Amino acid sequence: MEQPTTGTPAASAAAPDALPRVLVVEDNPDTLEMLSLALTMIGYEVETAADGQTALRAAAAHPPDAILCDIGLPDIDGHEVMRRLRALPGLAHTPAFALTGFGQEQDIERARAAGFDAHLTKPVDLADLDRRLREALAGAAAPVPAT
């Protein structure tokens, strides 16, 4: 199995200038490389996984700030990967985006039911992805209002 890789040197999560860490889970090598390079170039630390088991190990070892996960993975489908990621300590509210070629309403509903916050169809518009990631990360960092 492929070991997770990092697009940039590791940054301390406590450092104020640390880059947001994004876990990209994608079994297509070309798509994985394109997303990793693009996200690195626009200011994210990227960790990659080509299958669900590798993603679960990577997230448990170094919890990401956001997750991009393909649905059609070779070992565990992306819906199950997301359910398992949500069960890991600290990942219940991590912004997570489903990546898939299927964009019907039932596909979107199934992704949300599995724990994804958003559903993106391939090919992904990188400017839109960056905007969505920044918004989600800003929302994740915002204090929870008192009730």
Whole-structure pTM value: 0.84
Residues 35, 25: Cα–Cα separation, whole Å: 10
Q: How far apart, in whole angstroms, are the C-alpha atoms of residue 58 and residue 108? A: 26
* 108, pLDDT greater than 50: yes
| pLDDT tens-digit readout, 61-88 | 999 999 999 999 999 999 999 999 999 9
As given in the structure block, the two tokens for residue 106 are: 């039932």
Q: Shortest CA distance to 22 belongs to which of 132, 143, 144? A: 132
Residue 140 binned pLDDT confidence (cut-offs 50, 70, 90): confident
| Every domain of the chain and the residues it spans | 28-138
Q: Which fold has domain 28-138?
A: Rossmann fold (3.40.50)
pLDDT, position 111? 97
Instruction: Write out pLDDT tens, residues 10-65.
Output: 333 445 569 999 999 999 999 999 999 999 999 999 999 999 999 999 999 999 99
Q: Largest Cα–Cα distance in the chain?
A: 46
